[in-house]
Chain A
Amino acid sequence: MPPLLDIQDLRIHFHTRDGVVRAVDGVSLQVEAGEVAGIVGESGSGKSVTAASLLGLVPMPPGRIAGGRAWFDGTDLLRLTGRELNGYRGKRISMIFQDPMTSLNPYLRISTQLIEPLEIHEGLRGKRALHRAIDALESVGIADAAKRIHAYPHEFSGGMRQRVMIAMALITKPDLVIADEPTTALDVTVQKQVLEVMRRLQRETGTAVLFITHDLALVHEMCDSVTVMYAGRVVESASAAMLATGPRHAYTRGLYRSNPAGAGKGCALYSIPGSPPDPARLPGGCAFRERNTLGDADQCLADHRPELVEIAPGHHVQDCPGCLAPSQD
């Protein structure tokens, strides 16, 4: 069976005054029906742009889809018109955004916003729509939902608002939910609760999830498969279990080493030095070379970009000798 979502060689460019920024530069990844697929990367790695492009939410201009395909159930999402895409948005694919404080409309009641997808995609209105919305609100663990559904967003806390976003995303029973850093803006304790809700509902509904985060620890709590992105490209992808036991790329290893939960007590925590390269001026060779301290920077490709190769069944990694070199320590 083909995957539910099959992104192939996606390229998204932004045309800015500084020149062309290759925010996404040849990304391929798959999401199987019912699975939770993670994308991990730092800010600016292109993970959010990749997700936004699937629903046509990349502002164009300055953005431009420079190439690639995104097959979803036999349709290339990247080639749909806005009108055609509206049939998918919020119906078969829905999205949860990073900041629940700004992602809900402050001028409209929660009820209006929750019912909206039902109005648009199922023609459901009035009492019946309201009942569905109350059910959805209850399913994400909001007490007294029948009353609180008439509140405005500012009367809810951040965690509650994100629960509303989740309820809104799932209310039409979509095949795929794109969750773009859904817990980043929340307090740590609230994060746990919201993730718990997401995981439970994902299991109950069997919806596939594309889970975007910069937090590798979350990936292991949530995901079946993981794609690691760096500077607009995929550096490594594998099942979550495989990646946890044998990360190969120096960047992935760096991410694991910099996770406090994995380090022994009292040990100095590793951190990847420097910051990601300027996406408008990417180096010709390996983009991670400057920051590669766990592999062998001297061996990193300098003249051409490393390509993704399959080193074990289902385990892909960028073929850069410097980044694949074993740790020195």
Chain B
Amino acid sequence: MTRVILQRLLQGLLVLFVLATLTFFLVRALPYGPFQDERAVPSHVRERLEQLHGYDKPLVVQYAMRLGNLARGELGTSLKVMEGREVTAILAQAFPVSLALGLMAMLIAVPVGVAAGVIAAVRRNRVVDYAVMAVALLGICLPNFVIGPVLAELFGRRLAWFPVSGWEPRDLSFMILPAVTLGLGSAAYLSRLTRTGMVEVLHQDFIRTARAKGQRESWVVLRHALRGGLIPPVAYLGPAFAATVSGSVVVESIFQVPGIGRLFIKAIETSDEALIMGPVLIYGSLIVVANFLADLVQLWLNPRLRSNS
């Protein structure tokens, strides 16, 4: 087990290294830089700025310096979006917001998606199944930027159950609408995956054995079928979780949530390298960790995998 964990850790570091390298060179390949502005910047000012931030050195030297700083845990300073502020400090403020929102979204998506998928599988090819799957398809097809404003209009303005937008750190009511918007797509996709997994398992011989024992149908589903049926959705949950908690540009913009998704887009627009690198590395780490967790859950669900490793 320790060997597997160590192996995964090294793999994760490699992933982060590749991500950092790609990000660095892609940002530098952009046709605009952080020292350009709508108004023309006098050339001597610009040269001075480039010198100050090391942009005058050869690219390879800059790359080496950047990696060295990253290895020491220094993300650098934002050059444009939040001029002069440490990226670490910016992220320390914005990431918890995205994380809370993402966790809330998953907290909604997982139970709803799994329950809907199980119900659809048990009532396969009946009205309930068709209804659930139709709603799920709609949930997959409708983009965030359609669902978000509709929810804001309906529950924020007309019914006034929740605030239309904004964010208060310890106020759940601000979280509901963006979390639902963010979670709906995942819930829809999860329900379809769960249904597929459950339908497959419910056809197996051992389900018939459980029924032949006189087990109630609800227990046949929960005790005998659910474990196997959850394997496909769990594989999807790893990356989905990472994507959700690392911030959504669209949802954070619609509901004016001060998370990292919005920062990230602004950083790209202005070629603010340090502020691009931060979120990319957070997202990368989350993907690595979430996939590892998903694998652990798979091991827990499936004893046959356990004996092989």
Contact = CB atoms under 8 A, between A and B. Distances in A.
Label chain B's interface by main secondary structure. helix
A165 to B, nearest CB: 8
A102 B303 contact: no
B206 A116 contact: no
- Name the residue among A116, A154, A165 with the largest chain B CB count within 10 angstroms: A116
A318 B164 CA distance: 80
B295 interface: no
B228 to A, nearest CB: 6
Given A102-B206, A103-B205, A154 B304 contact: yes
Nearest to B216: A86
A47 to B, nearest CB: 16
A102 B204 CA distance: 7
A154 B306 CA distance: 11
Contact of A87 (B210, B214, B307): B214
Given A102-B205, A102-B206, A107-B227, A89 B304 contact: no
Nearest to B230: A107
A103 B212 CA distance: 11
Contact of B208 (A87, A91, A97, A120): A97
A87 B205 CA distance: 21
B157 to A, nearest CB: 48
Interface residue tally of chain A, by bracket?
Answer: 20 to 34
Given A90-B214, A95-B212, A120-B214, A108 B205 contact: no
B209 A104 contact: yes
A97 B214 contact: no
Given A102-B206, A152-B304, A154-B304, A86 B227 contact: no
Nearest to B206: A105
Given A99-B205, A152-B304, A154-B304, A107 B213 contact: no
Interface string B205-228: 110111111111100000110011
Given A103-B206, A105-B224, A107-B228, A116 B213 contact: yes
Interface string A96-124: 01010011111110000000110011000
Nearest to A94: B212
Interface of B: 204-206, 208-217, 223-224, 227-228, 301-304, 307
12 contacts: A57-B208, A82-B217, A85-B214, A91-B214, A94-B213, A102-B206, A103-B209, A106-B228, A108-B223, A108-B224, A120-B215, A152-B303
Given A97-B212, A102-B204, A120-B215, 18 more contacts: A57-B208, A57-B212, A82-B217, A90-B214, A90-B215, A94-B212, A97-B208, A97-B209, A103-B205, A103-B209, A104-B206, A104-B209, A106-B206, A106-B302, A106-B304, A107-B302, A117-B214, A152-B307
